[in-house]
Amino acid sequence: MTSRRDSLKTLGLATGLGLLAPSSLFACSNKSKKDKLGVALVGLGYYSTDLLAPALQITKHCYLAGIVTGTASKAATWKAKYNIPDKNIYNYENFDTIVDNPDIDIVYVVLPPSMHREYVVRAAKAKKQVWCEKPMAVTVEECQAMIDACKANGVGLSIGYRCQHEPNTQAFQKIVKEGSLGKVLSLDCAAGYREGRTDHWKQKREMGGGVIYDMGVYSIQGARLGANMEPVSVNSAKVWTERPEVYKDGLGEIVEAELEFPGGVIGKIKTSFAENINFLNIQCEKGLIEMSPFQGYAGNKGKSPLGVINFPYDVPWQQANQMDQDALAILAGKSYLVPGEEGLRDIRIVEAILESAQTGGKVLI
């Protein structure tokens, strides 16, 4: 760990707080002098089970304190595996009583996107700090309601964009921000994998399914971070499926779109549940930044005329790093690196992409 931090320091990259333009500061509702904050995971699917829970065994500033699940067998398994006391185990009906539990400082919502708004709002009303997985929600309206609820209750809201916390992403951002290779001229970004499941929330429109909400957010993030600008329009978009028996009634299995940034910079993005794709190319005036893969759980790396970008780590360091940085923000009373406003920006672009695909025209953002 020491050598990794030394490498980051050499690059001039922060491993803590405030790497992007800050949103409004939030006040930590828990005034106790804790060294480690208690996290309750809401939803015990794959991401919580295989990544977040293991990551919380190696975090330094937060720990797995509780769970929220509607499945009794999962509750029993997690209780035994992680020694979780009965008083820190909740279901979706009694979730609101978490307000009275001083062991729980943070509620991490890891549910299908259609459920994010409800549980973020309920967690905020319980005066808990809130972390929420991406995509933030299904609509801009839902995102704004989540932001408003957290602000009204004096708690912070962070979105689980793990890559913004990791050193390889920060390295290519640094090159772009400092103009080390001149201005960005164009971008090409793709994120996807072959999804074998056929009856998951990702195949159900009413639960926030479709590739644009899941892997598509990575492509949008890649283009936005790579350009260091916000897109002004979606010039064109296409949504289709190669498996209509799985992705029904126009739900997107594959999406392509052209984003336009200020100055006429074009970013082409693709996302897919039909193929394994994972790259970000940033064409600058003085050369090409190539990241491949750019958004994996580990192994992200790249190169440019300035040299190799490769800061290795093992799974689940990325998730542990994200949660530790967010816990440090709470403990220090500082703004999150990836606040709710960041998640809202991506969903606004998602909505514009879907509108462009439907109308066949250009959509201003």
Following CA atoms 170, 175, 179, 185 in sequence, which dihedral angle do they give, to the nearest 10 degrees? -100
Q: What percent of the chain has pLDDT over 70?
A: 91
Q: How far lies 291's CA from each of 189, 249, 275, 288, 316, in Å?
A: 9, 35, 18, 10, 20
pTM (2 decimals)? 0.92
How do beta strands 157-159 and 129-132 pair?
parallel
Q: What is the predicted pLDDT for the residue at 277?
A: 98
Q: What is the predicted pLDDT for the residue at 332?
A: 96
Residue 119 confidence (pLDDT) above 70:
yes
Q: What is the predicted pLDDT for the residue at 18?
A: 33
Q: What is the predicted pLDDT for the residue at 34?
A: 84
Tokens 């250009």, residue? 362
How do beta strands 129-132 and 106-109 pair?
parallel
Tokens 């992705």, residue? 247
For residues 345-364, average pLDDT: 98
Residues 6 or more apart whose Cβ sits within 8 Å of residue 228: 173, 176, 177, 184
* Calpha distance 154→128 (Å, rounded): 9
For residues 86-111, average pLDDT: 98
For residues 182-199, average pLDDT: 98
Question: Which residues face 25 on adjacent strands?
Answer: none
Residue 113 confidence (pLDDT) above 60:
yes
Residues 6 or more apart whose Cβ sits within 8 Å of residue 28: 129, 156, 330, 331, 333
Residue 13 backbone dihedrals phi, psi, to 5 degrees:
-100, 135
* Calpha distance 293→295 (Å, rounded): 6
pLDDT digits (tens, 9 = 90+) for 201-233: 999 999 999 999 999 999 999 999 999 999 999
For residues 154-181, average pLDDT: 98
3-state secondary structure the chain: CHHHHHHHHHHCCCCCCCCCCCCCCCCCCCCCCCCCEEEEEECCCHHHHHHHHHHCCCCCCEEEEEEECCCHHHHHHHHHHHCCCHHHEECCCCHHHHHHCCCCCEEEECCCHHHHHHHHHHHHHCCCEEEECCCCCCCHHHHHHHHHHHHHCCCCEEECCHHHHCHHHHHHHHHHHHCECECEEEEEEEEECCCCCCCCHHHCHHHCCCCCCCHHHHHHHHHHHHHCCCCCEEEEEEEECCCCCCCCCCCCCEEEEEEEEHHHEEEEEEEECCCCEEEEEEEECCEEEEECCCCCCCCCCEEECCEEECCCCCCCHHHHHHHHHHHHHHHHCCCCCCEHHHHHHHHHHHHHHHHHHHHCCCEEC
Instruction: Tell me which amino acid residue 209 is.
Output: G
